[in-house]
Amino acid sequence: MLDYFFWLLLIIAFVMEAWALIDALTVPQGAYAAASKQSKKLWMIILIVAAVVGGAYAAVPYALGVHPIALLLNILPVAAFIAGAVYLADVRPAVAPFKKRGGGRGSTNMGPYGPW
């Protein structure tokens, strides 16, 4: 029963890492520089590696018969979780104002200095 709990923790961590990766894909490249954060390329590399590690560790317990608690104590899933958490807690709020909104062409009620 406890194995299922720890396996659930690995799955939740993977979902969070995938969410961070998908969110990073939707942010324009210039938003990272405007928010004084690392480049989009670096964040994409970090989050892709984190999602791959998280997905692999979420699938391993029942594919190979390994106990999930042994995997949670390993450094790789912890580092992957921290990478996703840092993006979601620090970078995502900083770049959120720069995301495209209103579809591809912009809103029809836009003036030269913003919405009106």
- pLDDT tens digit sequence for 53-89: 999 888 877 777 777 777 777 888 899 999 999 999 9
- pLDDT tens digit sequence for 92-103: 999 999 887 644
- Global pTM value: 0.79
Angle ∠(17,19,24) on CA atoms, nearest 5? 95
* Token duo for residue 25: 């894909």
HSE at residue 60, side-chain half, CA atoms within 13 A, is 18
Strands 110-111, 114-115: pairing kind: antiparallel
* Token duo for residue 85: 């958490």
Report pLDDT for 103: 46
